[in-house]
Structure 1
Amino acid sequence: MSKAAEIDIASVSKIYGKTIAVDAISLKIPAGSYCCLLGPSGCGKTSTLRMIAGHETVSIGDIVLGKEVVTDLPPAKRGTAMMFQSYALFPHLDLIDNVAFSLKMSGVDKDTRRARALNMLKLMQMEAYASRKPAQLSGGQQQRVALARALITDPEALLLDEPLSALDPFLKIRMRAELKKLQKQLGITFVHVTHSQEEAMALADIVVVMSDGRIEQAASPREVFERPATAFVARFMGDHNVIGGKVTGSSDGLVTFELVGGGTFSASGQIKAAGSDVDAAIRTDHVRIGESPVKGLGFTGIISNIEYRGATVKLTIEGAGIAEFTAIITDKAYYATPVAVGDAVPLHWDPEDAIILGTLNS
């Protein structure tokens, strides 16, 4: 396999008429890393991937692969390969001819291309099916063939557009592990578009969270989970309560703020001027119930919903000017002191579990 390449996206925008799909994003993807572009539909992640591939033109900015500016190069000249969501296999060709198709287009002789295709199918543990047609394969097997076809061109970067979305949940988890293993084995740069937080966290070295054509945060999965950069990231990742209010003061690294019609809270982070708007995130799995809250680090609320989830129980609570607050506690803790809908319960958390969030412009 060829050497992996760093991908440098430099102030890139994609504009369709009056719509800005990608808004002046800059991102460095290290060579040999697994990068997931994550976000809701319409956030610009697929447009970004297609611009790296050359399937979309760049409106403003540059894309650099390794040391070469590839902004205006056609897809075949970039050193990238793309695996599409639909797999796009040729139904009338057997697996060897499907995998070898790009080599045929490049003028590689039949024996050479078929030998290389068979080697790629072996890598994907699909050589036993080499003479079959795509219709005779399962979804997971078709995906392996599509991967083999993308990798036969010896790319420096593999681009994957929601490659697991068509698979059933059990197969998704299995193929996720295989993709990670394959990326480590080949050592090339993978850029993978997904709307699944779980998928991005399981696969990526770098998670790039996008919203409205902009990058909200680009960091390791652990940092995105533990230190979300903005309120959008905290809400989208789904592991934090986000509460907002106006700053009333600060001391000892804690910012104090007041909710409209509600309580006063404290959170650690960047000091903001009194009277300014602020958002804070509180880890749902670090909220504890049943002890008197410390001032600013908890409140007493009414339980509005209880969901049993096996190892954990999700409690939804209202109070202190907060319409919906989540606590995830272990099933052991819940059944040791069970609570019911309508009960008033005290909640609290530690100072390090409440953090002040930034904004894209901060």
Structure 2
Amino acid sequence: MNKNADIELAAVSKAYGSTLAVHPISLKIPATTYCCLLGPSGCGKTSTLRMIAGHEAATSGDILLGDANVTDLPPARRGTAMMFQSYALFPHLDLVDNVAFSLKMKGVEKAARRHEAMEMLRLMQLEPYADRRPAQLSGGQQQRVALARALITKPEALLLDEPLSALDPFLKIRMRAELKKLQASLGITFIHVTHSQEEAMALADLIVVMNNGRIEQAASPRVVFERPATAFVARFMGDHNVISGKVVEASGDTTVIEVAGGGRFKAPGGTKSARGEPLDLAVRTDRVRIAGAEDDLLGFNGIVSNVEYLGSTVNLSVTGAGIDDFTIVVSDDAYFAQPVKIGDAVSLSWAATDVIVLGRVAG
């Protein structure tokens, strides 16, 4: 295998009987990247991870590690290691033997494998607990043992299936920092499955947003946050309002859509959409102002339906112009300077430069 090799999926799919869990997807993960596969339950992210690991056979397509095609290789010959969601530690073995287990299977002599296992435990700051059993450890410590056991094989890529899901909120934040530091110090690729937007944003160099077995967007956290590619990404990341309608006006520099409830909104700059075609627009929740719009098509009048005080920010939900739930995020200072309550009428507006025209994933 090539050290520090890119991982590439070329039209890889996975079918279970007549059900296509992962449609043919293509993706390149550069060497030494921290990549998060992000999406809701059932979107295909874990199936994709298991195909990269070799624990699931790809139905079609190729999986490449550098210039080596590993599609048909067993997990132990791929140059990858997988850390399972359950950690899958052996309850009857101490930490040294848990970590050294894969070396034992390879026939490494006992003293040598225990020496390597102690080095990994030292890396994970678990050396004082070497003679304990997994049940005598906290959740965070058990996770570090599972990491040590995966890393002792010196993989080119570490694959992590929702590794933080069993931890309490405070420990999750601490372990995020540990994972990021570990990945940077080892200089290997991490591919991490999660359904948490916050986790992906905090950890990843590359976020791959999946939905219904397809990739909706693969980009850096900043691009996913600021320029979501599709309505699904904008909604799933939770930081944009999506306005879905049909094109009623399409000139060279302006497109106007009408939502089902009758409201009309402008997409400045124009699009390639023709009259009657569906089109989705997005506006970031923190870019909306409580003020009348200079351009009637860059805002609307509505009624406050909910107010959530979250400390440094306040979330307002507004209904109007045929839109059931439009969210505004304002600072606590701005809110308390001009507070509103449920049932109040408000005027909302945004700048033309804050409107994003969203694309669609081919069916």
TM-score bracket for this pair, using the shorter chain length: over 0.9
Tell me which residue corresponds to 1:20: 20
> Residue type of the partner of 2:101?
F
Tell me which residue corresponds to 2:94: 94
Tell me which residue corresponds to 1:283: 284
> Residue type of the partner of 2:328?
A
| SS in structure 2 of the partner of residue 58 of structure 1 | coil
Contact 1:121/1:148 (8 A) holds in 2: yes
**What is the identity percentage for the equivalent residue pairs of Structure 1 and Structure 2?**
70
Using the TM superposition, give the Cα deviation of residue 3 of structure 1 relative to its aligned residue in structure 2, in angstroms. 2.8
Work out the CA distance in 1 between the residues paired with 2:206 and 2:56: 23
Contact 1:38/1:207 (8 A) holds in 2: yes
1:147 aligns with 2:170: no
How well do the aligned residues superpose, as a CA RMSD in angstroms? 1.3
Tell me which residue corresponds to 2:328: 327
> Residue type of the partner of 1:255?
T
Q: Higher mean Cα deviation, 169-178 or 255-264?
A: 255-264
Tell me which residue corresponds to 1:162: 162
- Under a length normalisation based on structure 2, what TM-score does the superposition of the two structures give? 0.97
> Residue type of the partner of 1:322?
I
Tell me which residue corresponds to 2:307: 306
Using the TM superposition, give the Cα deviation of residue 268 of structure 1 relative to its aligned residue in structure 2, in angstroms. 4.1
Contact 2:229/2:358 (8 A) holds in 1: yes
Using the TM superposition, give the Cα deviation of residue 128 of structure 1 relative to its aligned residue in structure 2, in angstroms. 1.1
Using the TM superposition, give the Cα deviation of residue 13 of structure 1 relative to its aligned residue in structure 2, in angstroms. 0.7
Q: Higher mean Cα deviation, 245-254 or 174-183?
A: 245-254
Using the TM superposition, give the Cα deviation of residue 291 of structure 1 relative to its aligned residue in structure 2, in angstroms. 3.6
| Pairs aligned (count) | 361
Contact 1:253/1:271 (8 A) holds in 2: no
Give a deviation string over 1:193-214, Cα, whole Å, max 9, x none: 0000000011001100001101
Give a deviation string over 1:127-171, Cα, whole Å, max 9, x none: 111111111100000000000000000000000000000000000
Using the TM superposition, give the Cα deviation of residue 275 of structure 1 relative to its aligned residue in structure 2, in angstroms. 1.8
Contact 2:304/2:317 (8 A) holds in 1: yes
Contact 1:314/1:327 (8 A) holds in 2: yes
Using the TM superposition, give the Cα deviation of residue 260 of structure 1 relative to its aligned residue in structure 2, in angstroms. 2.3
Match runs of 1:177-188 below 5 Å = 177-188=177-188
Match runs of 1:253-268 below 5 Å = 253-268=253-268
Work out the CA distance in 2 between the residues paired with 1:211 and 1:319: 29
Contact 1:216/1:360 (8 A) holds in 2: yes
Tell me which residue corresponds to 2:174: 174
Tell me which residue corresponds to 1:218: 218
| SS in structure 1 of the partner of residue 36 of structure 2 | strand
Contact 2:284/2:354 (8 A) holds in 1: yes
Which blocks of at least 5 consecutive residues in structure 2 are unaligned? none
Give a deviation string over 1:34-62, Cα, whole Å, max 9, x none: 00000011000000000000000110011
Give a deviation string over 1:256-308, Cα, whole Å, max 9, x none: 21122322111246331122111111101111103445321111100011111
Contact 1:293/1:300 (8 A) holds in 2: no
Work out the CA distance in 1 between the residues paired with 2:299 and 2:12: 43
Tell me which residue corresponds to 2:46: 46
> Residue type of the partner of 2:87?
Y
Tell me which residue corresponds to 2:317: 316
Tell me which residue corresponds to 2:121: 121
Tell me which residue corresponds to 1:65: 65
Work out the CA distance in 1 between the residues paired with 2:79 and 2:56: 16
Which blocks of at least 5 consecutive residues in structure 1 are unaligned? none
